[in-house]
Amino acid sequence: MPLSLSRPDLLRTQNFINARWCEGRDGRTLPVSDPALDVTIASVPDSGAADARAAVDAAYAAGPAWRAVPAKQRAQILKRWNALILAHQEDLGRLISREQGKPLAEGRGEVAYAASYVEWFAEEAVRAYGDIIPAPVSGRRMMVLKEPVGVVAAITPWNFPAAMIARKIAPALAAGCTVVAKPAEDTPLTSLALARLAEEAGVPAGVLNIVVASRERAAEVVDVWLADGRVRKITFTGSTPVGKHLARESAGTLKKLSLELGGNAPFIVFDDADLDKAVDGLMAAKFRNGGQTCVSPNRIFVHQLVHDAFVEKLAARVGALKVGPATDPGSQIGPMINERAVQKIERHVRDAIAKGAHAVVGGERHQLGGNYFAPTVLIDVDATMACSCEETFGPVVAINRFSDEMEVIAAANDTPFGLAAYFFSGDVKRIWRLAEALQTGIVGINEGALAAEAAPFGGIKESGYGREGSRYGLDDYMQTKYLCQTL
């Protein structure tokens, strides 16, 4: 099916550097495919080091003028960008769904979610207050200024092609930083469309630059940014191994870092929980984007007293999920992003079953073939199975039984990761005990849908550091300068 947009110029297939749309310097290209059909829908530059350098040159040159623009004016540009994103919600939603595979309703929802960060940081831009500190000695004045860090390099994953880039670019521009960005190789079209709208909103030349590269050349582009002392911050969402690599390599120029890495979220259902709410919460948290989100519950722990009742309710809901392409308005679960992703899910399910788990629903690739995997519920899962140790990143619910609160807290925390955790309980004292004992940056309490622009999103342990969204989110793009004056 051809990709038709009401504004065809939103389908951009070139890099965006210094306000110019351009091919890669060495002319190499990269196909973008629709994961539902495995057909090529566009061809974009497969950029290299020279393009990466040109982007930094542009961002660095644009820095002084952009940080000198009054915050109110920067906020107005961001507000226009927000309005344009919302005005083109349908086209952007279609682009997201076609290149990433999520159902169209979710694609539209992601556009609104991405825009909410742009609006939020437009509003925060004018509130980057400093301080006047009471001086400990007489004859002195002590002040604190918040300043933009400088050029920011943003590297994003494929699972939320609009939201991931918006929630990095919006705070950076709000703070007065300029940006070089590399979207994921699977989903570059949405970020290029957003750049087109940013241009239209009045973002000046060089302030936002997008460089597209294949997985093979990602390191070539990003290595230039890592080595360049003019780049003062790396903001990354993606896997923990790549995040660690970025942390190591940016040490040479001691850049500021925000790393939003993988998770292995526990989801705990106690015997005092409202089971219907717990099932609703799990459905919302687990099956958004087909389970391909970093806050997806990955290890489900259900108290033995409610285990069978919970599994029965859940199995009915999961068994009824409609699987199909993004273009089918009834689809609730789209294709996985690529064959590599399906292979990982299949490996996890087979490993679990070989070690004693049972599939109550699904358990194999979906009959549609291609990149589809059947929504699955596994029971009798334990900590030795691959699905308990790594993120499955697919529509698989892996259920463990437990009987004791201390035991389940220990199991939930028994992972190097610490992004999100969820639990359902009706006991107020237990709620506080759990909220404080769980080692994660985000805790859902009787709630499965947590992300919001007003909230600080981010992890601890090997899930990374830094926060996106909320009033804390702007700080990650600013540095603190202390002024001391003798009168």
Q: What DSSP character marks residue 304?
A: T
Residues that bind ligand ADP (rule: CB under 6 A) add up to a total of 14
Q: What is the three-state SS of 54-100?
A: HHHHHHHHHHHHHHHCCHHHHHHHHHHHHHHHHHCHHHHHHHHHHHH
Q: Which of 169, 72, 206, 65 is nearest to 128 (CA)?
A: 72
Q: Which of 91, 185, 453, 476 contacts ligand ADP by CB under 6 A?
A: 185
Residue nearest to ligand ADP (CB): 238
In the region spanning residues 302 to 331, those forming contacts with ligand ADP, defined by CB under 6 A, are none
CB 211 within 8 A of CB 52: yes
Burial class from Cβ neighbours inside 10 Å (0-12, 13-18, 19+) for residue 356 reads: exposed
* Residues numbered 212-231 forming contacts with ligand ADP, rule: CB under 6 A: 215, 218-219, 222
Please report whether residue 245 would count as binding ligand ADP according to CB under 6 A: yes
The string of DSSP codes covering 341-372 is HHHHHHHHHHHHHHTT-EEEE--SB-TT-TT-
Part in contact with ligand ADP (CB under 6 A); list of ranges 12-20, 51-59, 179-187, 324-332? 179-187
Residue 260: active-site member: yes
**Cβ-Cβ contacts under 8 Å for 64 (sequence gap 6 or more):** none
239 binds ligand ADP (CB under 6 A): yes
SS3 334: coil
Q: Which of residues 359-398 bind ligand ADP (CB under 6 A)?
A: none
Residues 171 and 473 sit within 8 Å (Cβ to Cβ)? yes
User: Which of 194, 242, 278, 282: binder of ligand ADP (CB under 6 A)?
Assistant: 242
Using an 8 Å Cβ cutoff, are 476 and 172 in contact? Answer: no
The reply on whether position 238 binds ligand ADP by CB under 6 A is yes
Distance CA 307, CA 401 (A): 7
Choose between 182 and 467: whose C-beta lies nearer to ligand ADP: 182
Question: Which window, 177-185, 250-258, 351-359, 443-451, contacts ligand ADP (CB under 6 A)?
Answer: 177-185
- Kindly state whether residue 192 participates in binding ligand ADP, applying the rule CB under 6 A: no
CB of 100 to ligand ADP, least distance (A): 12
- For residue 101, the SS3 value is coil
Residue with Cβ nearer ligand ADP (34 or 185) = 185
Q: Smallest distance from the beta carbon of 242 to ligand ADP, in angstroms?
A: 4
Cβ at position 204, least distance to ligand ADP in Å: 25
Catalytic residue among 99, 119, 260, 453: 260
Parallel, antiparallel, or unpaired: how do β-strands 396-402 and 297-303 relate? Answer: parallel
Per-residue contact track with ligand ADP, 113 to 152, x per CB under 6 A? ----------------------------------------
Instruction: Pick the binder of ligand ADP from 24, 35, 48, 157 (CB under 6 A).
Output: 157
The residue among 197, 191, 195, 235 whose CA lies nearest residue 213 is: 191
Q: Given candidates 54, 155, 409, 412, which one binds ligand ADP under the rule CB under 6 A?
A: 155
What is the closest distance, in whole angstroms, from the C-beta atom of residue 475 to ligand ADP in the complex? Answer: 24
Of the pair 201, 231, the CB lying nearest ligand ADP is at 231
Min dist CB 361 to ligand ADP, Å, is 26
Build a one-symbol-per-residue string for 334-353: x at contacts with ligand ADP by CB under 6 A, - elsewhere: --------------------
* E runs forming strands in 137-296: 140-148, 151-155, 178-182, 208-210, 231-237, 256-260, 265-269
Exposed, middle or buried, 271 (CB in 10 Å: 0-12/13-18/19+)?
middle
Beta-bridge partner residues of 379: 358
Rounded CA separation 422/14 (Å): 41
Please state the closest distance from residue 336 (CB atom) to ligand ADP, in A: 12
Rounded to an integer, what distance in angstroms lies between the CA atom of residue 256 and that of residue 479? 9
- What is the closest distance, in whole angstroms, from the C-beta atom of residue 184 to ligand ADP in the complex? 4
For ligand ADP, the binding residues (CB under 6 A) are 155-157, 182, 184-185, 215, 218-219, 222, 238-239, 242, 245
List active site positions.
260
